[in-house]
């Protein structure tokens, strides 16, 4: 930064020197008749001062200030037409004014500058302070008794042409008194409007120039009490502490740890409170997005995230003493419950019991669990297990294809239900269609020709009864017992089950044998019918060409032979 002495400051200093050195002190009008006059929106301070330089400082409600300097006896005026509502403070300082020509000559000479510095201590000023207010565009001026002239002070109390070293304490402000009791205070600021302003006068390109201010309390009646740091150029207040803020509201430890509500932060950010310490995330709508408020908090009952905008719902909660790794989300996106090392997109680990997922709508519930015994789908309402996969099940034990076909033992089911291997049904099967059993010669071996006669004879001895299954007395069945069928033919899985394929095979073999017998009998009958026809012809010949005695001998033989033929036909039909 570059330090510079403003022209006004030089004029003021030179004026005071010349007034004290080269000119006799002229009589001043009384300062007791200071009046504030408002006309056409212009506020004028009528001091009665002559040959003075007047410096007017206006304090705004938003902590801004404006400084105006009036020379050559110009009226001290301020335009109020653009002021907003609020309380405004003012400070008016009057300096003695010397002749401008002598002032200029003194400023140009080394001797003049020396005399300025030598005689600064002999000069005095007059200072007035007060306030006025604006409400709905109307200016309200103070009463005469509300205006006060501050104690005249010497320039030596303000300006030092060398380094200033004070071995005692320092009091700054209009309310400092002679014999101020400092106690342990080294520097004290004492008046009704306390501000410390940092004016950066840098004017070279690239150098920072922002002005800052420390503000203590509002200047208007009924305002707030606080300590604040203001960004003057930006018109912002990034830091503020209200009066009566609790002790340790903000505490920064020597390790860099920050405490809120505690002077002993044990982690980088430590929030302490007697009831549910909370962090609020507030999207307030100032950037155009919909307002939304989230709270992150914890207490003796739970740690939770609260949707404060939508009925203070708690979508996420953790109870104290929850096990380690109750919920883990890895950088791969895998989620673990009960494990720090989830190996899949969702990994549930429970060393003490079967890991279980529960689906519950308040009325019905389903549990899906896995353990050493297998995978189970449990009806949580009835506590039944309608679906189970036992440990060690083969691949493709159950497959549902993309077109909805179900395969058991195959990953490429060819029908709505495709079973690759045996199927055991402990109950009825109702079909509205047909059954196709595999009978491909390419799938068979160990072929042997069967004896139809033996199969038929065993079938003739096989008991056939009517019966019903235990527990189903209303449904009547007819057929052999598996034990009898297995004992007669020795085919099938065991003596507890009947294969429709085997039963059909026995039936077909028996039918073939019966067909063979029928064909054999038909041949015999045909021969007998031929013999009978031949005999009939011979009988007719005898009837026409021979005597009755001969006929009497032949007829018994013919009738006997015919009876034998009819008997054979009857027997063949029964078989």
Position 50 scores a pLDDT of 66
Position 422 scores a pLDDT of 81
Position 557 in a domain: no
DSSP string for 355-387: -EEEEE-SS-EEEEEE-SSEEEEEETTTTEEEE
Position 136 in a domain: yes
The number of domains in the chain is 3
User: The tokens of 111 are what?
Assistant: 């001797």
Please give the Cα distance from 395 to 402 (Å, whole number). Answer: 18
User: The tokens of 432 are what?
Assistant: 């509205």
Position 107 scores a pLDDT of 47
Exposed e or buried b for every residue in 443-456, given b needs 16+ CB within 10 A? Answer: eeeeeeeeebeebb
Instruction: Characterize the bridge pairing of strands 52-59 and 86-96.
Output: antiparallel
Position 12 scores a pLDDT of 40
Around Cβ 182, how many Cβ atoms within 10 Å? 12
**Do 482 and 495 form a contact (C-beta atoms < 8 A)?**
yes
Q: In the block, which residue shows the tokens 């003057």?
A: 232
**Do 90 and 57 form a contact (C-beta atoms < 8 A)?**
yes
Regarding whether 152 and 13 lie in a shared domain, the answer is: yes
Regarding whether 192 and 152 lie in a shared domain, the answer is: no
Regarding whether 191 and 152 lie in a shared domain, the answer is: no
Regarding whether 136 and 88 lie in a shared domain, the answer is: yes
Domain limits for position 287: 187-318
- The pLDDT tens digits of the residues spanning 71-81 come to 777 889 999 99
Would you say the pTM of this structure is higher than 0.75?
Answer: no
DSSP string for 189-252: E-SSSEEEEE-----STTS----EEEEES-SSTT---EEEEEETTTTEEEEEEETTPPTTSSEE
User: The tokens of 461 are what?
Assistant: 């001895």
Position 552 scores a pLDDT of 57
Position 62 scores a pLDDT of 84
CA 145 to the chain's CA centroid? 64
- Per-10-residue mean pLDDT for the chain, 575 residues long? 39 38 32 77 82 81 84 85 90 64 47 49 64 89 65 49 86 85 92 93 94 94 94 96 96 96 96 97 96 97 98 97 96 96 95 91 93 92 92 90 93 91 80 83 90 90 93 91 92 88 90 92 92 89 68 56 59 53
Please give the Cα distance from 55 to 91 (Å, whole number). Answer: 8
Regarding whether 155 and 19 lie in a shared domain, the answer is: yes
Regarding whether 281 and 160 lie in a shared domain, the answer is: no
**Do 500 and 435 form a contact (C-beta atoms < 8 A)?**
yes
Regarding whether 216 and 306 lie in a shared domain, the answer is: yes
Task: Single out the residue in 441, 472, 489 at which a domain terminates.
Answer: 441
**In whole angstroms, how far apart are CA 202 and each of 9, 195, 211, 233?**
18, 21, 10, 14
């Amino acid at each position: 930064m570059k330090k510079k002495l403003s022209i006004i400051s030089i004029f003021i200093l030179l004026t005071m020197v010349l007034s004290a050195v080269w000119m006799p002190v002229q009589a001043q009008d009384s300062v007791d008749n200071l009046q504030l006059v408002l006309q056409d929106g212009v506020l004028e301070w009528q001091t009665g001062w002559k040959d003075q330089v007047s410096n007017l400082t206006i304090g705004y409600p938003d902590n801004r200030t404006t400084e105006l300097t009036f020379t050559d006896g110009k009226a001290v005026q301020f335009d109020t037409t653009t002021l907003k509502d609020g309380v405004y403070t003012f400070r008016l300082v009057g300096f003695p004014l010397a002749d401008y020509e002598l002032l200029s000559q003194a400023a140009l000479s080394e001797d003049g500058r020396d005399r300025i510095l030598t005689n600064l201590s002999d000069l005095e000023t007059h200072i007035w302070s007060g306030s006025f207010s604006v409400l709905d565009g109307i200016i309200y001026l103070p009463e005469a008794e509300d205006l006060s002239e501050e104690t005249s002070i010497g320039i030596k109390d303000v300006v030092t042409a060398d380094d200033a070293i004070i071995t005692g304490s320092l009091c700054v402000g209009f309310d400092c008194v002679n014999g101020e009791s400092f106690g342990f205070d080294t520097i004290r600021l004492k008046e009704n409007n306390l501000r410390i302003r940092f004016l950066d006068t840098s004017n070279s390109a690239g150098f920072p120039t922002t002005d800052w201010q420390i503000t203590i309390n509002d200047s208007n009646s009924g305002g707030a009490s606080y300590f604040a740091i203001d960004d003057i150029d930006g018109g912002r207040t990034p830091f503020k502490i209200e009066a009566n803020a609790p002790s340790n509201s903000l505490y920064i430890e020597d390790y860099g740890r920050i405490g809120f509500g505690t002077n002993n932060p044990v982690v980088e950010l430590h929030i302490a409170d007697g009831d549910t310490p909370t962090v609020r995330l507030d999207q307030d709508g100032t950037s155009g997005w919909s307002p939304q408020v989230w709270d992150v908090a914890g207490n003796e009952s739970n740690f939770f995230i609260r949707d404060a905008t939508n009925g203070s719902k708690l979508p996420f909660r953790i109870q104290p003493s929850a096990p380690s790794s109750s919920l883990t989300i890895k950088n791969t996106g895998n989620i673990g419950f009960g494990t720090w090392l989830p190996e899949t997109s969702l990994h549930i680990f429970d060393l003490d019991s079967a890991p279980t997922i529960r689906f519950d709508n308040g009325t019905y519930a389903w549990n899906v669990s896995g353990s050493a015994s297998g995978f189970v789908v449990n009806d949580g309402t009835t506590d039944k297990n309608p679906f189970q996969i036992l440990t060690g099940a083969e691949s493709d034990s159950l497959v549902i294809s993309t077109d909805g076909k179900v395969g058991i033992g195959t990953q490429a089911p060819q029908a709505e239900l495709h079973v690759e291997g045996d199927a055991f049904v402990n109950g009825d099967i109702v079909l509205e269609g047909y059954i196709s059993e595999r009978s491909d010669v390419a799938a068979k071996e160990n072929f042997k020709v069967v004896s139809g006669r033996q199969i038929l004879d065993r079938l003739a001895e096989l008991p056939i009864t009517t019966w019903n299954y235990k527990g189903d007395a209303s449904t009547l069945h007819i057929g052999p017992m598996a034990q009898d069928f297995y004992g007669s033919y020795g085919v099938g899985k065991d003596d507890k089950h009947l294969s429709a394929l085997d039963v059909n095979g026995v039936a077909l073999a028996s039918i073939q044998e019966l067909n063979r017998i029928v064909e054999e009998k038909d041949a015999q009958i045909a021969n007998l019918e031929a013999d009978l026809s031949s005999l009939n012809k011979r009988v007719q010949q005898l009837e026409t060409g021979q005597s009755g005695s001969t006929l009497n001998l032949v007829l018994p033989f013919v009738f006997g032979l015919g009876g034998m033929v009819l008997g054979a036909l009857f027997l063949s039909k029964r078989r």
